[in-house]
Structure 1
Amino acid sequence: MSARATPEISLRLLEIFAAMMRGGTTVETAEALGISQPAVSAGLRQLEAQLGIVLFERTSRRMTPTAEAEALFTEIRPMFSMLQGFTKTARDIRQGLLGRLRIIATPPIGHTIAPLALKHLLAERPDVSVSFDVRRLEHVVEAVHSGRADLGIAITSESYPSLHAETLHETRMVALVADDLTARPSITPDDLIDRPFIGLEVDSKLGSQLRAAFQQHGHGYLPHIEVRYVSTAAELVNHGLGNAIVDPFTAHCLARPQVQIRPFDPACAIRVALLTRRGVPRSQLVTAFVAALRPLFDAPLRRLHA
């Protein structure tokens, strides 16, 4: 090595040096770093050889830092404070206590169950930042596919080549009714055909299911009011504008006391799916959110939204 060459010092050697400066003995340094005492001594000798500086005055009982060692320790102390912060941050990310979670959901879940799961998650992880969006199904699929969202939650029975779709819950649509229909144990299209009815857009997945149900009973699907979102349908029922068929999450979350929830026949099955990109491992944050979300589907919905 020429006189001008800068020695390449490993971070491990500097870590041994810093621990020695803090601990004072090779025994304490070895215990702090989880290595042997001879490894500490060898590391210090190697560092001195690379620097060309005597760092410790060696006596039979003790190693005393030189003035040069004190000066060097002052220089590297901030670096080790940063390293400790980096290590803690990495540990928090690994444990799902820190980081950013990007969630996108369709309205029936995004306006009901998902916020409850998010509340549970953030109660234990206050330092996590979240991007939370509610969109139509096609936007949810595109956001997860493109990587703009870490996970999507949607009511869908479809499969997607680039996405992994995991079933979270399976249920059926329900009727939101008022007035004389509240006395009936269940609701069919026959009960709705001569009354104001709030329907979902026929080109939506849920709307197409409702059309098939009406056709099965020999009726055309002719809503008095047509809406895009189930939450809109629920609010219109609350305001006395008619009856509607919606998912049970929206029904139990948004229905006012004067509006009753009844089973709807024929059954219109719905599936809640968790959408993630194929080939992308789940982060600890995604895993933690799903763990908070899944039990909510099995809990009584009225209790959840009380």
Structure 2
Amino acid sequence: MPAKPDISIRLLEIFDAIMRYGTTVEAAEQLGISQPAVSNGIRQLETQTGVTLFERLHRRLQPTEEAVALHEDIKPVFGLLRGFVSRAQDMRQGVSGRLRVISTPPLGHTVAPLAMRRFLKERKGVSVAYDVRRLEHVVEAVQSGKADIGLALALERHPAVNIEVLARTHMVAVLPKEEKVPGSTVSAEILAQGDFIGLEAESRLGQMVRAAFERDGVPYDPRVEVRYCATAAVLVTAGIGAAVIDPFTAAFNGALAVVERSFLPPIEIAAVLITRKGVPRSRLQHAFISEMRKALSDFQADGIQAVSGRR
């Protein structure tokens, strides 16, 4: 069996530059080398692979079908390399570098920003890339290395990433203030008697709310269905109906015209940390996770005023 060619990253870099910029002149300028060096590199790559990569037409290089197919294969490699260079540059911006955090809305729009405020307060050289997306995007970002830390609710295991429970809590019922609701709890049966705002069936929280209604033998028939708990809280404020949402979103919307009650049957949810498998945590990650744990603990002990400092 013939030996596999030992192709250097430099040759692939030259190939990638020509594919992206179209000419040897532009490729040479981008790489900071001479045009003959680019041409020699392509000839060497063609020799080592045994594949014709470019047709030379009127002093221009026209990529062959094989070149286009091979370039698609190496695109992810150079995406990772550019990400590595960018990350190294970010780390040189300050003493402690850069942290990339992504979260689903219930934590991303509530407790996590307050934890970040504490995290950044004494770290003047730190920068943070922060995004709030749907659960599948959070998992993908952490798995692919685009984010260092992911935050979410109600995801306790996943084959592609590490999941660690930061805190456990329960979903709550929120109702328009004009509704007279005696006691400290509201059942699925009571909510089913009026207009109900449900969470979309494809979401994990939506599935858990539906299962709670079914567990009590109560029909689950939302008048309105929404994607996010925050949207449900806004609709409750508008007097459209009641909803069952996470307690973080409920607390941050407490100033709105809503009444919060414990929901029966109980729906336990976990606030979780998502990290990449096989990658050790940096000191920045450890520091942010510590602040997130404290913020969640403060919230459970004394409510949002304790976390936000509004006491």
**TM-score band, normalised by shorter chain:** 0.5 to 0.7
Of 148, 155, 160 in structure 1, the residue corresponding to residue 146 of structure 2 is 148
Q: Is the 8 Å Cα contact of residues 233 and 250 (structure 2) preserved in structure 1?
A: yes
Long gaps (5+) in structure 2 = 1-87
- Structure 2 partner of 1:189: 188
Long gaps (5+) in structure 1 = 1-89
Q: Does 1:225 align with 2:227?
A: no
SS of match in other structure, 1:222: coil
- Structure 2 partner of 1:129: 127
TM-score, normalised to structure 1's length?
Answer: 0.66
Q: Does 1:101 align with 2:107?
A: no
SS of match in other structure, 1:158: coil
SS of match in other structure, 1:267: coil
- Structure 1 partner of 2:289: 290
Of 151, 157, 160 in structure 1, the residue corresponding to residue 158 of structure 2 is 160
- Structure 1 partner of 2:238: 239
Q: Which one has the largest radius of gyration?
A: 1
Amino acid at match of 1:155: L
Pick closer, same or farther for the CA change 1:255–1:236 going to 2, 3 Å.
farther
Q: Is the 8 Å Cα contact of residues 200 and 207 (structure 1) preserved in structure 2?
A: yes
TM-score, normalised to structure 2's length?
Answer: 0.65
Q: Is the 8 Å Cα contact of residues 197 and 244 (structure 1) preserved in structure 2?
A: yes
Moved over 6 A (4+): none
Q: What whole-Å deviation, never above 9, does each CA across 1:89-146 have from its counterpart, x for those lacking one?
A: x9xx69x942111000011100001000111111111221111011111111110000
Count, aligned residues: 215
Alignment of 1:42-53 (within 5 A): none
Amino acid at match of 2:241: G
Q: CA deviation at 1:158?
A: 3.5
Q: Distance in 2 between matches of 1:155 and 1:294?
A: 14
Q: What whole-Å deviation, never above 9, does each CA across 1:207-227 have from its counterpart, x for those lacking one?
A: 111111111222221111100
Instruction: Give the alignment's Cα RMSD to 1 decimal.
Output: 2.0
Q: Distance in 1 between matches of 2:218 and 2:119?
A: 45
Q: Distance in 2 between matches of 1:156 and 1:190?
A: 24
Q: Is the 8 Å Cα contact of residues 97 and 285 (structure 1) preserved in structure 2?
A: no
Q: Distance in 2 between matches of 1:111 and 1:246?
A: 14
Pick closer, same or farther for the CA change 1:172–1:97 going to 2, 3 Å.
farther
Amino acid at match of 2:272: A
